[in-house]
Amino acid sequence: MLDPQAQALIHLMTERSVPPVHTLSPVQARAAYLERRAYSQPAPPAVGKDLADVRDLRIAAGPAPELPLRLYLPALPMVPASQPLPTLVYFHGGGWTIGDLETHDVLCRELCTQSGAAVVSVDYRMGPEHRFPAAVEDCLAATRWVREHAASMGLDGAKLAVGGDSAGGNLAAVVALLMRDAGDAPLKHQLLIYPATDMRATSASHQLNGQGYLLTAESIAYYRGNYIADAASWRDWRASPLLAPDLSRLPLALVLTAGYDPLRDEGRQYADALSAAGNRTQYVCFERQIHGFITMGRVIDEARTAVSLCAGALRAALIEN
């Protein structure tokens, strides 16, 4: 069954006539997403108590004139004070169209405090103003920049992970592939939270869960259309990492999905493909949940469970091993 708390959220949005995202312009959709976070997201872990510091950075890296980042440092790191901090580079979700440093600020704070690792959140360019592969280019450039400048920030460039949710999970998977192919130093982990891995959207869960669970088939088409200008590019593995010809020699992965999510099957398929290619991969499906639930810890209890699971995986990969 659908989690009762997720069902209550869906009913509330229906009662309040919250407009579907695909009926809004990208500017309107971004504002609505930002505004709604106050209702569903828990209180943010605070600097001085849970976090040592939060810093906004602007870097010149890749083709973007300027790329905003946000650095989170834990108050209680799980490495000795004399050692640099392992780091997660995080890419927010939002269909490559909405979302920013603010919409995922609480989640990044939670991952930082619970894992004991630093987190760097990336505000990559989005569609329709900047179409594919702009987001890929920005995320790759940001990850390399973090590694190159790690020492100056007290970070450990040799202990680096990438992660993200939904569109951000897609970007994290693609960055891991690109860095492997370019011969970059290996990443330690990839955290893929209900990732989009196949732009063709043909798996069974797209039909089973395409209506009634917040992320609809129409919304997926809207996001995809904003990101990718032509259907021929759906098969480009930088857009659909499930279609990459070689998925071997990739970092340890945790793939998390939701049972009532249209993206459920392609997330599981990606986890299976990673395992089949010889990679250490864990797959966990929150069977009663909806797409996007991990940021909704104020109203969905299992969101907090999922955050702790992800933080534990990061801690194990970056600190304990």
- Amino acid type, 171: L
pTM of structure: 0.98
179 backbone φψ class: left, alpha, beta (φ>0; ψ -120 to 50): alpha
Give tens-digit pLDDT for 5-17: 999 999 999 999 9
Mean model confidence pLDDT for the chain: 97
- Amino acid type, 252: L
Confidence of residue 81 (pLDDT cuts 50, 70, 90): confident
Edge to edge, what strands does the sheet with 67-74 contain?
A: 51-59, 67-74, 118-122, 85-91, 155-165, 189-193, 253-258, 281-286
Q: List domains and CATH numbers for the chain.
A: 4-320 (3.40.50.1820)
Indicate which residues carry an active-site annotation. Answer: 166, 261, 291
Tokens 């108050």 correspond to: 75
Average pLDDT rounded to a whole number, residues 191-197: 99
Checking if the pLDDT of 76 tops 90, the result is no
Q: Give the HSE-up count for residue 105: Cα atoms under 13 Å, Cβ half-sphere.
A: 17
Give tens-digit pLDDT for 41-71: 999 999 999 999 999 999 998 898 999 999 9
- Amino acid type, 72: Y
